[in-house]
Amino acid sequence: MYVSSFSHQFLLQGRVTEEPYWDAFRSNVETLLCQYIQKSGTSNARTTPGGLLWLNPWINLQYISTASFLLTVYSDFLSTARGGPRSLMCPAGQVQPSELLSFARSQVDYILGTNPKAVSYMVGYGSSYPWHVHHRGASIVSVKKDPTPVGCEDGLKIWFDNTGPDPNVIDGGVVGGPDENDAFGDNRSLMAQSQPAIYTTAPLVGVLAKLATMK
């Protein structure tokens, strides 16, 4: 179902008049949120032993950062609802807005290092993070250090397969993350785990902005 950015804004402002349409839209969103926070009975979303949502084996953290952003936005939506704050009604019980935000925080904490591997999946953050990122700019030496031209095949043969750490640290890049058992291989060839992407980092920025405003 396509919903424009204006429609999203009207929904959050309580200016929508087509109740049946929006009731269905809201129901779909809330069903998804209940699955994320493990309050949907038998249809809960899977989690790793360490508590990370497990939604897809291919760059799983892109889905987790987006899910965390949705949880954060909906927490604000419920907290500022017309008529006063309201809770989310899930099959397994009532959920307060603060619980949605708390779960989103738990996912961000996991990404930033509170996990069984004690690894930050955001490159450059903390004392331990991926050093063999599946990223051409990170894995090939800077022209400032070595101006020798690097051909396409050279980038693969000379640098991609190099076992040394990345010569360039792409601060802020969030990689694909661990597997369903919290295992992570810091290896450029493991694209699903070591590849960073803008669409993984972008939603996380919104969640971090919200958390930064809290005491």
* Residues noted as catalytic: 134
Asked if 71 and 101 touch (Cβ cutoff 8 Å), the reply is yes
Burial pattern 135-172, b for ≥16 Cβ within 10 A else e, equals beebbbbeeeeeeeeeeeeeeeeebbeeeeebebebee
Output the six-digit token pair for 154: 């050279």
As a three-state string, the secondary structure of 91-156 is CCEEECHHHHHHHHHHHHHHHCCCCCCCCCCECCCCCCCCCCCCCHHHHCCCCCCCCCCCCHHHHH
Output the six-digit token pair for 183: 């295992």
Angle at 78 between CA 75 and CA 82, to 5 degrees: 150
Nearest to residue 196, comparing CAs of 97, 120, 143, 118? 120
Output the six-digit token pair for 37: 């926070």
